[in-house]
Structure formats: C-alpha cells, structure tokens
Amino acid sequence: MMEPQKKKIDYNRREMPKQPAEIRRHNFSEVALGYPVETAVQEASRCLQCKKPLCVAKCPVEIDIPKFVKCVAENDFAAGIKILKEKNLLPAVCGRVCPQEEQCESTCVMVKKGGQIAIGRLERFLADWEAAQDKMNIPEIPSSTGKNVAVVGGGPAGLTVAGDLIKLGHQVTIFEALHKLGGVLTYGIPEFRLPKAIVNREVDYLKKLGVKVVADYVVGKTRKIDSLLDEYDAIFIGAGAGLPWFMNIPGENLNGVYSANEYLTRMNLMKGFLFPEYRTPIKEHSRVAVVGGGNVAMDCARTALRLGAETRIIYRRSRQELPARLEEVENAEEEGIIFQFLTLPIRYIGDENGWVKEIEYLKMELGEPDASGRRSPIPIKGSETILPIDAVVCAIGNSPNPLIPKTTQGLVIGKKGNIVADEQTGKTSMHKIWAGGDVVTGAATVILAMGAGRKAARSIHEYLVSL
C-alpha cells in the first residue's frame, strides 16, 4: 500500500489588491480592496493546520485562528464568521488595522520562508462577506442576570467589554463623551484606512445584542464615577489616551500647530478644513509637516496629501527605526509623502499674525541603541536649518485622559497619569471598578485594548455571579 503523500507547502502568500497610488492619493476611498473569493480560498488553503498553533497564543482576543481559516478554505464562510465572532465583535475593524505581522502571523511556522498565512486579510474577508449578505446573525442572549454594568468610553476596550458581558446575560450601558461610539476607530483613523460605515456596522451589532448607549455624556464632568457606583453593580473605565504630547519647544502655541488628535478629529468630522474660515483650507501647494514616525503620523501625512498639500514626515531616526507598520510606510512612500529622516525640530517660527510659517530643525546621526533597542539619535552641531511650512501636526504620542483620574478619589494613578489596573483582570484599587485599554497602558493598538477588555469582562462576570 502506497503511503499518502505529504501536502506540499505553498509559501506564496497571496497579495491583496489595492488602489493604484496615483489614483488613491486624490481620494478618501479605502486603499486596500480586500480578497476576492477565489484568492481568499487559495490563501486559506495554504494553512498547515498545526496541531499546536502558536498563532492562537499570540492573539490578544484568543480567536481560534486555524478553525476559521479552515472554514474559508472549505468555502464555509458562514461558519467562519461565526467562529470569529465568538471571540471578536469587531472582525472587519481588526482585519484592517491590527498589526497581525507582530502578533498572530509572526509565529506562523512558515514565517522563516516569508510565507506566513495572511490571517488578518482572511479575517477581513469573512467580515466583508457577512456584510455583503445584508444579514446579521444575532446570537441568542441568555435571560437577564439582573446585574447592571456601566462602561465608560465607547472605544475598542469598552466595546469588547460590553459585547462580552451582554452575551453573558448582564445589562450593559456605554457612556460615551462624544456623539458616536468607536473612539479612535471613529475619530482617529482616516476613512481611507478604516471606512466609518464599517465601524458603524460593528457598533450596530452591539446595539442589536441589547447594549444601551448614552452619548454626549462626559463621565467625570456630567456625572462622576462615585455617582455611577450607586446605580451599577460594576464599572469598566475605557476612556482612552486623549492627552496629546508635544515637544515643549518654542512656537508650539502658534496657530497652525496641531496635535494629531485634534487634526484627525477635524479631518474625520469636517472633511478637510484645517484652518478657520478666514484662512485657506489645505489645498494645492500648502506645505504640511508631520512630526513623528508611528501609524498616527502616517495617517496624518496621508490625509494632508489627499487634501492637496505637499506633505512630509519629520522623524529623528532613520527609516529602519520607524515604529509604523511597514505596510503603512510603503503606502505613504508610494503616494508621494516626503520622508525627512534624522531630523529634529527645535522651534517653530510664526508670522506677524501668529501663524506658523517656518520650522527650524537640526540634523541627527545615530548613536548606540537606547532602552527600546533603537539607536539613539544625536544632534549634529551647526546643522540648524529653516524650512518654510504652512501647518505642523505633532504625532509623537498621547497620555491617558486625565479627567476621570482627577475626579475619582481612591483610584490609584501611575506616574504617567494612567489608571493602575491588574494586567490579568483589569481590577483597579477601587471596589467594583475595572479599567483597560489606553487609559491603563497609554496609547497602544486596537487589538491590545480589546484584549484588555476581554480579560476585564471575564473578571467582572466572575464578580457578578458571586454576588
């Protein structure tokens, strides 16, 4: 009897089609176009279905990755999306913005050959397939436990907590400071990377599960945490990282110098106007500088480019040290963003009306690696240079929102203004209060915030059923 032949390993990862750079740089439509059905099935069929899948261990929300990938390979998309949603209520979002290359995909056994499975793209495919069916499968919710949970903040962490707890029979109300849920998904990430219709669809799913939403409600100001404790059996704080960092250099208070938070919120809400009405909106020949090298910096620069500006990234290290996802860097380069590496702004210079008109910067050289492993930039003496500019966006990071920490006595706060919470449970120093996401860790990724929300939801459930 002949022995069955081993499956030949296919190392050829299927690429996802996207808009040509010359076209997409002039519109806000989504850049990546998603897998066609045939390509998705081909990509999923490459999975070796490992007996000990390391990819699952690296997923912050604990998705059974081989199982949903196998469903795609077998053309059973309905089963695949069901498996995904058992652990992830935001698959269309995560399939687009999560750094899978650093998480689940990084542990694929084919990674050394450059052929790891495109897990994130398959996740996106299933979510988009479900949306195309125009039918949302709502799981059966158990009878109410009679326990009420307040979730402060409608970003990724808060949405995850709400979804997990509502499916366990608890009543959940989300208090959101702004007028729509989503947090960074709605107000921070540009349309060309994450269409708002997708965020709205994912949020609508939560509402159909029975989650209540109270918008335009600023906990810490409209009502304090202490007051909510009188009404709710447990509270989860997921207020995010809304306090932008600046460099503390001269001229940062000039008009035309923006934080990335303000800039991206304006872009998402106002569709392009960076200056007040008496100034010109960003258009052809405007000059915009974005300071920073992360994903947020890429979002800011690529947005300004689409509004007609000559746009540059100013970053104090080299291209090799850029913290942004490689995919986003490559997209920015293709679209025509100017990268000015080894450059450190030292002051902004204004005109007679108080608007920024120039940046003065130093050239840098790389020294020894710092604590993060990246080589430390060292200024080059005498390299001061002045660059004409019309607007500056500072995208160097954020601290946790300070409102709730300042208005809640008894909540232990860390040195960076973050709420101190147990990493495995989300428990804070106060009874009945949990926290997670950027308000605990500082600015991080969507999927890490969701992972923190999952752990907190599990702990909250254990507490509620013990009452």
With cut-offs at 50, 70 and 90, classify the pLDDT of residue 372: confident
How is residue 271 annotated by DSSP?
A: S
Largest CA distance in the chain: 90
**What topology is assigned to 246-396 in CATH?**
FAD/NAD(P)-binding domain (3.50.50)
pLDDT digit string (tens) for 255-300?
999 999 999 998 888 764 454 443 444 555 689 999 999 999 999 9
Quick one: pLDDT at residue 276? 43
Rounded CA-CA distance 10/232 in Å is 53
Q: How far apart are the first and last CA of the chain?
A: 63
Evaluate whether 30-132 and 148-242+399-466 have a shared fold: no
Alpha-carbon radius of gyration of the chain:
23
- Is pLDDT larger for residue 35 or for residue 271? 35
From 139, 16, 8, 122, select the one nearest 70 (Cα to Cα). Answer: 122
**What topology is assigned to 30-132 in CATH?**
Fumarate Reductase Iron-sulfur Protein; Chain B, domain 2 (1.10.1060)
For the chain, what are the domain ranges? 30-132, 148-242+399-466, 246-396
pTM check: above 0.75: yes
Provide the percentage of residues in the chain whose pLDDT is more than 70: 95
Rounded CA-CA distance 21/447 in Å is 28
Asked whether residue 7 carries a pLDDT value surpassing 70, the answer given is no
Neighbours of 139 (CB within 10 A): 10
| CATH number for region 148-242+399-466 | 3.50.50.60
Mean pLDDT for 176-202 is 93
Show the tokens assigned to 339: 């990268």
CA atoms within 13 A on the CB side of 447: 23
